[in-house]
């Protein structure tokens, strides 16, 4: 079986695609996989690192509105569709699976021209624009959120790395804390802001450092690769406060923690619930509010807290977050609630669906509803490659 995956630009698009690739290979090691991406996205590091072939196409960050910039789009988009088509032909693809972002639109349209089955995975409750287009080309649409507003959508969860989905936090806890230089007996807060960090989260945490120390709460703080030159130890009075730019082993970070303070991108929410780690969610204050929508079901179920970006202060940390961390019974209850919201098998379930579609075992009764000429003028078909993490 030959499968093309279109998901580039951000970790929120790439990681689920790679997790699906891993699941496909576990089911059928003879599967041939190519990931479509651009020359500037994170996929240039992540895809080869995971052992998969990367086929690059031109990035076409299309405008959201009808502006003079749109005049340059048709030629660029045609070039990207052509490049995607060449990769599909070289692979002799049996199916393409898109996850949104810059590469999804050219991938979907190139596949449609070649009558290759299209599968769409939408991670967010509010679908990205590329996937709104994809959902008009196919009935094979799967979602990572139970209430995603996308046509033909079927809830399946977000494919996760086995390193995360199979994680036993309790069994690995002491080893994970030792790995980061943390003490085994202290309540532990993990702080991170997605793949690039989050300034507001970082600033609030640093401003509350003395309060963490006074309460005996140790911190593992992942500030983002652009916000630190290397690991930094802010330990005071024997209470560790470890600062690192980036963590390749997020499974160990999750295992070391009792609670996480973080943004609420779709992938982050899926990972925290899969491993049963309560989150103090700080939704990204820009965009269409999707990060708040990602976190709300978890919070409503008792598996996390929600704090607006403007309300994240040292006072909130002292009055709300630290009392949680020092209340073992409450942390356990929230962990169990978060775990009940998690989906650990979305990678395998989606892989089985994709293979069945490629074999022609899943009929697609939905006719193609898009005239490609509409793309030149219809703003609903553009995509800005937003980060879903």
pLDDT tens-digit readout, 266-283: 999 999 999 999 999 999
Entry pTM? 0.88
What gap in Å lies between CA 259 and CA 88, rounded to an integer?
A: 43
Confidence of residue 383 (pLDDT cuts 50, 70, 90): very low
Tell me: is residue 195 an annotated ligand-binding position.
yes
At 40 the pLDDT is 81
Confidence of residue 382 (pLDDT cuts 50, 70, 90): very low
| 128 vs 16, more confident | 16
> How large is the average pLDDT for residues 242-249?
91
Tell me what the pLDDT averaged over the chain comes to.
88
At 380 the pLDDT is 39
Question: What topology does CATH give the domain 169-341?
Answer: Rossmann fold (3.40.50)
> How large is the average pLDDT for residues 70-84?
77
At 199 the pLDDT is 85
For 321-374, how does the pLDDT look when each residue is reduced to its tens digit (9 = 90+)? Answer: 999 999 999 999 999 999 999 999 999 999 999 999 999 998 766 555 665 554
Confidence of residue 62 (pLDDT cuts 50, 70, 90): low
**All CATH 3.40.50.2000 domain ranges in the chain, comma separated:** 2-160+344-359, 169-341
Tell me: is residue 291 an annotated ligand-binding position.
yes
For 179-209, how does the pLDDT look when each residue is reduced to its tens digit (9 = 90+)? Answer: 999 999 999 999 998 655 588 899 999 999 9
Confidence of residue 68 (pLDDT cuts 50, 70, 90): low
Cα angle 253, 274, 201 (rounded to 5 degrees) comes to 50
| 9 vs 289, more confident | 289
Confidence of residue 70 (pLDDT cuts 50, 70, 90): very low
What's the CATH number for 2-160+344-359? Answer: 3.40.50.2000
> How large is the average pLDDT for residues 19-24?
98
The winner for highest mean pLDDT among 230-239, 271-280, 288-297 is 271-280
Tell me: is residue 151 an annotated ligand-binding position.
no
């Amino acid at each position: 079986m030959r499968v093309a995956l279109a998901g580039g630009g951000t970790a929120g698009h790439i990681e689920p695609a790679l997790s699906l690739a891993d699941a496909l290979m576990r089911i059928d090691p003879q599967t041939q996989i190519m990931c479509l991406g651009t020359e500037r996205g994170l996929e240039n590091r992540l895809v080869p690192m995971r052992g998969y072939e990367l086929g690059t196409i031109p990035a076409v960050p299309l405008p959201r509105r009808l502006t003079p910039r749109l005049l340059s789009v048709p030629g660029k988009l045609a070039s990207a569709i052509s490049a995607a088509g060449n990769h599909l032909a070289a692979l002799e693809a049996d199916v393409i699976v898109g996850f949104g972002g810059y590469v999804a639109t050219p991938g979907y349209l190139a596949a449609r021209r070649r009558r290759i089955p299209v599968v769409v995975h939408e991670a967010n409750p509010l679908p990205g624009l590329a996937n709104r287009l994809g959902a008009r080309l196919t009935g094979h649409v799967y979602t990572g959120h139970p209430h995603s507003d996308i046509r033909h959508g079927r809830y399946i969860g977000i494919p996760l790395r086995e390193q995360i989905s199979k994680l036993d936090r309790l069994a690995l806890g002491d080893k994970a804390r030792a790995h980061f230089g943390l003490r085994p007996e202290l309540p532990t807060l993990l702080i991170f802001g997605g793949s690039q960090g989050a300034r507001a989260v970082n600033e609030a945490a640093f401003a509350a450092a003395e309060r963490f120390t006074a309460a005996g709460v140790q911190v593992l703080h992942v500030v983002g690769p652009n916000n630190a030159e290397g690991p930094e130890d802010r330990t005071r009075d024997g209470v560790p406060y470890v600062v690192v730019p980036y963590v390749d082993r997020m499974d160990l970070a999750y295992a070391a923690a009792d609670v996480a303070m973080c943004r609420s991108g779709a992938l982050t929410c899926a990972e925290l619930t899969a491993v049963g780690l309560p989150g103090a969610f700080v939704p990204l204050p820009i965009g269409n509010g999707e990060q708040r929508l990602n976190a709300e079901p978890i919070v409503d179920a008792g598996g996390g807290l929600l704090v607006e970006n403007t309300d994240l202060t040292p006072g909130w940390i002292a009055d709300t977050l630290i009392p949680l961390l020092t209340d073992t019974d409450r942390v356990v209850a929230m962990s169990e609630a978060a775990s009940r919201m998690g989906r650990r098998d979305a990678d395998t379930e989606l892989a089985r669906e994709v293979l069945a579609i490629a074999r022609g075992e899943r009929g697609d009764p939905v006719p193609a509803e898009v005239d490609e000429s509409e793309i030149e003028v219809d703003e609903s078909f553009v995509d800005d490659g937003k980060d879903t993490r």
